[in-house]
Structures are given as C-alpha cells and as structure tokens.
Structure 1
Amino acid sequence: MALKNEYLSNLLETVKKRNAAEPEFIQAVTEVLESLEPVVEKRPDLVEAGVFERLVEPERQLMFRVPWVDDQGKVQVNRGFRVQFSSAIGPYKGGIRLHPSVYLGIIKFLGFEQVLKNSLTTLPMGGGKGGSDFDPKGKSDGEIMRFCQSFMTELYRHIGADTDVPAGDIGTGAREVGYMYGQYKRLANEFTGILTGKGLTYGGSLVRTEATGYGLCYFTDVMLKANGKSFEGQTVVVSGSGNVSIYAVEKAVEMGAKVVAMSDSNGYIHDPNGIDLACVKQLKEVERRRIKDYVDTHPGATYKEGSTGIWTIPCDIALPCATQNEIDKASAEILVKNGCYCVSEGANMPSTPEAIEVYLANGVLYGPAKAANAGGVATSGLEMSQNSARLSWTFEEVDQKLKNIMHNIFKNCDETAKAYGMEGNYMAGANIAGFLKVAEAMKAQGCV
C-alpha cells in the first residue's frame, strides 16, 4: 500500500534519507504511517503540533564499546546500543537483544514498535530498546557474565527505575538479566526495579517467563472468537523454539489446539502427532541443544534444514515467534493456499509488508506483533508495579491481569479500526490506537 497523503509521503522520504542504511526501521515506520493516513485527515491539530515528525525520531540514541575477556584471556570487543525512543507516557521500556545481527537500525525499529506496543497495554510505559552484536551461543557462563558486566558498566549511567527500565529479549534470558542486575546493583549501590525479567528471589514476577507466549494466545483466542472461531481442534504451526515459542505452544495446546511444528535458526521439525513440548523444553531450556535432536527420540517426526520452510506445513493457525521478516510474500501465499486462516505474531515484525498484503487480501485474521505479543512487556509493567509497591502477586493474579490486558488490547484494536472505517484490519487499529495515546501526551507536553 502506497502513501496517498502528501504530508506523510514527504515525512517518509525524510525518514528514508536520514536512515538510509536502516531498512528494518524504514519498514516499521512505513507500516505505521500508512495506517495513520485517516488520522491526519481527522486530526490536523496533531500535524500542527509536529507530533508525527517527533514520533519517528528517537529522543536519544546511545552506542558504546563493550570490552570483555574470553576464557582464553583474549580481549573481545562488541558494540552496545540503547535507543530511548519516547518517554511521552512513562519511562523508556524495552528489552535488550543479544544477537550477531544487532546494529543501530534493528534497535531503532524495535524501539519504535515498542512505543506503540507499550501504549496499547494502557500501562504508563514509554518505548526504548537496547542490545549488542554479542552472540551468547557457544559462550561459557563466565564469558557471558563478563560480557554482561561490561555492558552494564556503561549502560547503568543511562537507566533508572523512573528513567529507563530494560528487560530481556532474544539472547537475553534469566541468566543474562541476573548478571546485568547484579552489576547494576554493585555500581549504583541500590536495590531497585531497574530491570524486568528478574529471578523470583530478587524482585521478579510470576508469569513473566510465560507472558509473551501466553499473551499471544490470549489475544489470538479473543480474535478468533470475535470471528466465530477458536483454537479447539485446530492445527497450529509455531516458529522458533525459544521462550515465546515454547509458552505459545503450551497455551495453544491447553486451549485445545494441536501444534505440529517448531523451528530454530538452523531448521524445523514436523511432528504430525503433535509436538512433545516436554522434550523441546529439555532440549532448549536445559541442555541448550538444537531442535534437530528432537527427531532422535520421536520416530514419527522429521527435520529439515532452513527455518523458513516451516511455513510449507499445512495449518489452520500460524504463530510466527522467531524473528523479523521470517514470512515473505511467497511463504504467506503458501500458508493461504494450504488453508491457513489466522496469522498472529509472537515475534517483532515477523511478516514482510508484502506478506501482510497477502493476509489482508485473502481475509486472513491477522494479529500484528505490537498488539499480539504485548503480553511480555505488559507483565514487565506488572513486575515494575510490584517492585514499586514491594509486593509479590500470585501466579493466578498476574495471569488474570495479563489475560485482561490482552483482551482489552484486542477490543481497543477492533473498536479503533471500526471507528476509522477499517473494520477487521487489526493492524491499522493497533497502530492508530497506540499512536493516539502517545500523540495526545506529546501535544499536551509541548515541543519537547
């Protein structure tokens, strides 16, 4: 879909010139601006206030050196990033991604998405993101600890419980969060809710581990039911095998679905009898092995190299939970041809713009990432609340709050889409609803 509004077209050209080497960021901004065309027509006051121009420019971008010593005594150097995108409705909030693909453009796209995602949760959180091109795979615990300590030695001066609250992301799990939190506490000499995703013994929240995967299914379930469908008896494909994927599988099965495929960065497994999640948890969470080892103990299962091939497996519901742009136009067309009627995103921006066009053109129920995978940051917000009040809620309490938040996010997306004449387009509804809350705050606070 091409922008028709001249004002937004000119703004997008400016974004492209300023960020020419950052295709992921340009892609994310393009999608949102396309959705906001009807808002420009209805709200000229936001144009006059310069809200759109400020929305696409981060408040602050940090890039720093991260030196650490490996087990052979050799000095290694990585690059660290933190993009503090918007504090209009609360302190910056967003995860830390550790992956070789990380560079400034990836962090900016994630931070931009986070602004609208956090807005949709209705919790008082701004948007930010951080990370490094460090690869935790194959590293010892000692190497990971030394990297995390070095990373936090620089980052700690830029964050705080009321300034910027990082969390986990790809490559940053409980182990990494623990090392980072320990170093922050050591440097700042204070015990505070500065990171979320912490261990339960030092301020973490129950359900945080499960939150993104569970939240994805809560959102998808209410979206399905609003359209006369459900998870019950449906065949589901879930990409990835990390935290989000594992708990999306767990909740989808609990809701009556059969999940037949999962993947990692090397390839994918297909088990027509239904994925044995206990085995996957043992492989990925305990032994840290590759997904291909699953077939050694499951004779009916097959493994194939190349993770994107997972979308050739026939399914009713697809839950992409691996990484950005994992479903392209060709994969989307195969999904539709094979009878997939619902795609709901657990990863950040896992569908290309061309894939999304295929979904919308074929009436596929599409749950966009910034709405469907907001459960992780929503529960991070609940962890922040517990830290601030020095409380610890039960699993059931947090899970119910998470479910309510995800149901409200869908309701907001649905009602906003209808209000702007785009009924059933939950992507447009999510973008507009998330934007309006931030925009009103920006306008009220003046030119800052």
Structure 2
Amino acid sequence: MAADGLRTLAFAYRESAQMPSADFTREEKLTYLGLIGFLDPPRKEVTPTLLACHDAGIKVIMVTGDHPATSLNIARQVNLVHPDERLVLTGKDLQSFDFSSKTDQEKMLKCQVFARVNPAQKLDMIDFYQKRGDIVGMTGDGVNDAPALKKSDISIAMGLRGTAVAAEAADMILKDDSFASIVKAIGQGRVIFENIRKFIVFLLSCNMSEIFVVTFAGFLNVGNPLLPLQILFINIVTDVFPALALGVGKENDKLMQFPPRDPKKPVLEWKDWRRIVYYALVMTLFVLGVFWFGTSRLELSHQEGNTVTFYALSLAQLLHVFNLYSGKGKFFGNEITRNKFIWQAQALCILILVATYYIPFIKKMLSLQDLDMLSFGLILRAGLFPLLIIQSVRFFSSGKLH
C-alpha cells in the first residue's frame, strides 16, 4: 500500500479489567485487528508549480516523516522525480552520513526525496545546503519544525493548519497553505527587483545626460545650453513620473524562466553601468547637436537655444523609458508598452511641457522663448533619434527584430 502512495494505519487492542493505567500506551500484548490505507492526494496545482520551479532554477526537495515508498510514489505523481527514480534517503541513512565525504555529498545533491527525517536531521540538511552557498527556503507547520524554520534563509509557515510556534518562527505565513503561492511570491519578488533596477537605470541615465550636456558644452565652449531652473524642472517632472510608472509595472512573462540571480551581486552590475553611460551619451550627442546647430546655423539667440535644448532633452528622456524593456522582448509588445501607467505618465508629462510653453508665468520663470516650426522640428529630431539609434543598435547586435 505504501508503494501505491497510501498512508497506512494498523489497528490493535488489549483487554483490561480496569481503567487505563500509566502503562496503557505500551505496545505489548496487543491483538491485531487489521490495516487500512488511505490516500492523501497532492493538490492539482502542485505539478505545474513544480514545472515552474524547474524553469526558474529552483530545486524542490521533499522532506517528510512518511514511509519511503509512500514519499517516492507521491513525488512521482507530481513529477518531482522521474517515474523510474528509486533514490530515497531516510533518516536512518542520514545518521551514517559524513557530510564532508564527496560520495555522500553527491548522494545528497542527487536525492530529492527524504523520508522518516527527524527535526535534528532537517537542521543538518539545511546546514549542508547553506554551506554550498544555496539560499534555503523551508516550509513547516508543526512545533518540531520551528528550529529548522529558524535556521533556514526563508522560513514559511502554514497559516491554516500550522501551529502558533511555527508561525512565530517563520518569516512568511501562507494564508492558503498552497505551494503555488510560494512560487507566485518568488515571481512577484523578481518583478519588484527588476522594476527597482529599471527605475535606477532610467533615473541615472537621465541625470547623467543632463550632467554630460552641461559639462561637454563647457569643454566645447558653446555656452550654457541649460539653465539651473530648467535642469531642476526636468528632474522633477520628466524624470520622476516615468520612473514611478516603471516601479509599478508588470514584468515580462518569461521572467520565471531565468535562473536566480547571485545574491552577492549588487543591484546594478557593470553591464548596467555601461548601459547607463551609453544611454546618456546618445541623448547628450543629439541634444547638444541641436543646440549647436540652432545657435550657429539657424542663428537662434542663446535663450532660444536654451529653449530648444530644454524641450529636446525633455522629449528624449520621455521616450527613453521605452528602451528599458527586458531581454529580447518585442519593441511594440513588451512589459513597458503594456504598462498603462507608462502611458499615463507620458501623457501627463507632455501636458506639463505644453503648459510650460503656453502659460506665461511658467514660461517666464523657466526663461523660455517663442520658437518657429523649424526649431520644433529640431526638438522632434533630438527627441526621437536617441530612441531610434538605441533600438537600431539593439536590433543589429542581436540579429533579431525586437
């Protein structure tokens, strides 16, 4: 019955002429009545959830007090192990294990089903995986699970059938006792991290472009292309709202198909810093280009050149948010373009920029001037070309249309 995944219960009795005494629970002089097997089937969502864990680089291990045959049968049912898998390690096996032995380490790493394991052995197992550098998540519901929950990196208690002791020891409590909820939480955590990273990359690349515009203009001796109040306005308006929209966006559907990131790595890696500088330089090139072209070739006044630069950089930064989609997503169907908050932020910022041009006191405060259609054409080019250049480089470097 155990091999069929059934939990077994044996029934027996002992006659007594008096009320039960202190030795009533002693297992002796019993008359065997019979044996029953009952099925405690896994939930339907477990199998697809385990597949999602596999795709996300998460190794799932079953640690139970059940019979080894029962444990292995359940593991096969939910596709935790291959149907032909026969390796199960029991608590008795672990007692003789030398965790410093390479052979025993290989057995531990290969095995995904552990049966008849006691609380102390759970601590040894957690210690083994942590010494390998793994992040260990532990689920539990009983009082005996509390020490292991405390030792694990991420401890998860059952909210419906768990004890108060387990809940007190845990970092997180599952309200529905569903394994699928754990995986959803992992996915949401990855979304939050990616949004934070995009938020930082966007803000730093925009701020760096402003620094580059002013600094390079000083080296080239072409005059100051932006006034301090204009820079402050760009930082408060065109930078902030798209960045906030990035922070609440939904990630792409393939995020859970990537392996876990190394927790020792910083939020921004060297590749992110290279992207930040690259984005900033591209925006700077076109914004400074229209400032120079407008003041030298179109003979715009310096204040008119400031106005062109202000609107050109604002537009370039607004459109720059569309460069921040993940991986090899499609440009017209990615997590950025599907984010309604991005479009709302774009519309709000454009309305604010229009207001700066048509509301006199704001226009005067920012030292903005009236512009002709040729100047607006320069602004449009300087705003669009950085996006087009970055996407073109992305297209040719990948060999695929994004």
TM-score by length of 2: 0.27
Greater gyration radius: 2
Structure whose residues are more often strand by fraction: 1
Structure whose residues are more often helix by fraction: 2
| Higher relative contact order structure (alpha carbons within 8 Å, sequence separation ≥ 6) | 1
